[in-house]
Amino acid sequence: MNKENLKKVFADKFPGEMGHVYASPGRINLIGEHTDYNGGFVFPGAVTQGIMAVIRPNGTDKVRAYSIDLNDYAEWAVSDPAGPEATCFRFVYGVARELTERGVQVKGFDTVFAGDVPLGAGMSSSAALESCFAYGLNDLFAQGEGISKWDMVLAGQATEHKYIGCNCGIMDQFASVFGKAGKLMRLDCNSREFEYFPFEPKGYKLVLVNSCVKHELAGSPYNDRRRSCENVAAAVQALHPDKEVKTLRDATWEDLKAVSGTCSAEDIKRATFVLGEKDRVLAVCEALNRGDYEEVGRQMYLTHQGLSKDYEVSCEELDYLNDIAKECGVTGSRIMGGGFGGCTINLVKDELYDAFVKRAVEAFQAKYHVEPKIIDVVIGDGSRRIE
Ligand code: GLA
């Protein structure tokens, strides 16, 4: 999205003084899928695509909002207990309320927003939108220092839980708020400690292939997956009253075996993926430390297999893209994000890149009559004020 266009539309919809411009990115995740709400590690980075918004306090108690991409307008009172119906505005409404709960005195504002993160591609367009408003509204309405970046992350996550119906973890909002150009971040979702990780895979590229199968996480089997994990964690806790088992982070392979008689076979399958993914993230950390990208790639394929067979969040199209990557000799490939559609993330040797992209596009189009979109990954900055 071009900032000048955004300002032009704003001036047209809401004449008068120009507002401030804020931006917040979508994300990729190298490895560590569905581990965030299990207290595990994730490895995301912000991308250069994101959401941009012009926001201007309007001196009333009303919010007036226009989404350029959806060509949709809504207005509501800041204190309205129900809020707007359309999903894209519910994100804005929810974030404003969550900021208010955290002590920011949000009043009425006018806003125009747009983005270039493909919707439903597993690149967290919703977190980009939430983080953009969490950052912007805090900047405009907070008295004194305002809330911390972590509070912005949590306000975005609470918006998903309370206003959208998706019981997501913290990875997406974290990546959007804390992202830094050229750096991945290794986050421990349990302690919330994280470190920036320079990601310069010399000789390799990261590329996303968007299957264009739209994924919709709210009210989806995403919440069921989370519940399965919680069931197993609760069974492990019952087994060990002496220790605290908050999430599957605190469970071992032995624990899993021990509860296999008391949990459903489906729940055990889900937890098997999660425990495997914990081990894979650690293996990838070690491999990255020694610059062993072939090992990183091997683990990515294993993650795909687990997401497809045990966690069952893949679909035919994503499995097909994964098969093509394998056939082409791509180093690593897997579903990225929540699943049920969206993109694969691929770690590809420079010399294979052209052949892989050509083959993926041609073969996918021939089979599904849809052109998959190729997105080259550039790791960008997190939430910020642009102007
Ligand atoms: C979605 C959620 C995240 C995370 C991923 C899977 O993107 O929003 O919290 O659980 O799925 O890793």
CATH of the domain at 257: 3.30.70.890
Residue position matching structure tokens 């989370």 = 226
Residues 25 and 171 in one domain: yes
Nearest to 230 by CA among 264, 254, 261: 264
Residues 135 and 242 in one domain: no
Separation of CA 33 and ligand 1 centre (Å): 7
Number of structural domains in the chain: 2
Q: How many other C-beta atoms lie within 10 A of the C-beta of residue 200? A: 9
Residues 143 and 65 in one domain: yes
Indicate whether residue 36 lines ligand 1 (CB < 6 A): yes
Q: Are 23 and 51 in contact (CB under 8 A)?
A: yes
Residues 25 and 141 in one domain: yes
Beta strands per DSSP E along the chain: 20-29, 41-42, 44-57, 62-67, 72-77, 109-115, 183-188, 194-198, 204-210, 332-335, 343-349, 373-376, 384-385
What is the spatial distance between Cα 345 and Cα 352, in angstroms, rounded to a whole number? 15
Predicted TM-score of the model (pTM): 0.97
Separation of CA 122 and ligand 1 centre (Å): 8
CATH number at residue 116: 3.30.230.10
Separation of CA 42 and ligand 1 centre (Å): 10
- Counted residue by residue, the chain has a size of 387
Angle at 48 between CA 43 and CA 49, to 5 degrees: 105
With 0-12 / 13-18 / 19 or more C-beta atoms within 10 angstroms meaning exposed / middle / buried, residue 205 is middle
Residues 277 and 349 in one domain: yes
What is the spatial distance between Cα 182 and Cα 313, in angstroms, rounded to a whole number? 29
Indicate whether residue 120 lines ligand 1 (CB < 6 A): no
Long-range Cβ contact pairs of 241-244 (< 8 A, separation 24 or more): none
Indicate whether residue 338 lines ligand 1 (CB < 6 A): yes
pLDDT of residue 2: 87
Ligand 1 atom closest to 35 (CA):
12
Output the residue whose Cα is nearest ligand 1's atom 5: 338
Indicate whether residue 337 lines ligand 1 (CB < 6 A): yes
What is the spatial distance between Cα 315 and Cα 310, in angstroms, rounded to a whole number? 13
What is the spatial distance between Cα 30 and Cα 208, in angstroms, rounded to a whole number? 11
Q: Euclidean distance between the first and final Cα of the chain, in Å?
A: 15
Separation of CA 380 and ligand 1 centre (Å): 19
Residues 142 and 274 in one domain: no
Instruction: Mark out the alpha helices in 160-197 (DSSP H runs).
Output: 171-178
Q: How many other C-beta atoms lie within 10 A of the C-beta of residue 350? A: 11
pLDDT digits (tens, 9 = 90+) for 166-218: 999 999 999 999 999 999 999 999 999 999 988 889 999 999 999 999 877 66
Ligand 1 atom closest to 29 (CA):
12
Residues 195 and 213 in one domain: no
What is the spatial distance between Cα 282 and Cα 287, in angstroms, rounded to a whole number? 9
3-state SS assignment for residue 250: helix
pLDDT of residue 120: 83
Domain that holds residue 246: 204-376
| Conformational region of residue 141, where left means phi above 0, alpha means psi within -120 to 50, and beta covers everything else | alpha
Instruction: Mark out the alpha helices in the chain (DSSP H runs).
Output: 3-13, 87-101, 125-141, 149-159, 171-178, 221-239, 253-259, 265-289, 293-309, 316-327, 350-368
Ligand 1 atom closest to 37 (CA):
10
Phi, psi of 373 (to 5 degrees): -100, 135
Output the residue whose Cα is nearest ligand 1's atom 8: 168
Q: Are 229 and 270 in contact (CB under 8 A)?
A: yes
Q: Are 209 and 374 in contact (CB under 8 A)?
A: yes
Structure tokens at 344: 């694969």
Separation of CA 59 and ligand 1 centre (Å): 37
Catalytic residue among 110, 151, 172, 319: 172
Indicate whether residue 169 lines ligand 1 (CB < 6 A): yes
Separation of CA 29 and ligand 1 centre (Å): 10
Tens-of-pLDDT digits for all 387 residues of the chain? 689 999 999 999 999 999 999 999 999 999 999 999 999 999 999 999 999 999 999 999 999 999 999 999 999 999 999 999 998 999 999 999 999 999 999 999 999 999 999 888 899 999 999 999 999 999 999 998 899 999 999 999 999 999 999 999 999 999 999 999 999 999 999 999 999 988 889 999 999 999 999 877 666 799 999 999 999 999 999 999 999 999 999 999 999 999 999 999 999 999 999 999 999 999 999 999 899 999 999 999 999 999 999 999 999 999 999 999 999 999 999 999 999 999 999 999 999 999 999 999 999 999 999 999 999 999 999 999 998
Residues 230 and 120 in one domain: no
Query: Mutation test of ligand 1: which of 117, 160, 171 has the most ligand atoms closer than 8 Å to its C-beta?
Result: 171
Catalytic residue status for 172: yes
Separation of CA 342 and ligand 1 centre (Å): 12
Residues 112 and 255 in one domain: no
Residues 212 and 193 in one domain: no
pLDDT of residue 220: 77
Residues 12 and 152 in one domain: yes
Residue position matching structure tokens 């305002």 = 146
Output the residue whose Cα is nearest ligand 1's atom 1: 338
Residues 263 and 358 in one domain: yes
Indicate whether residue 156 lines ligand 1 (CB < 6 A): no
Output the residue whose Cα is nearest ligand 1's atom 10: 34
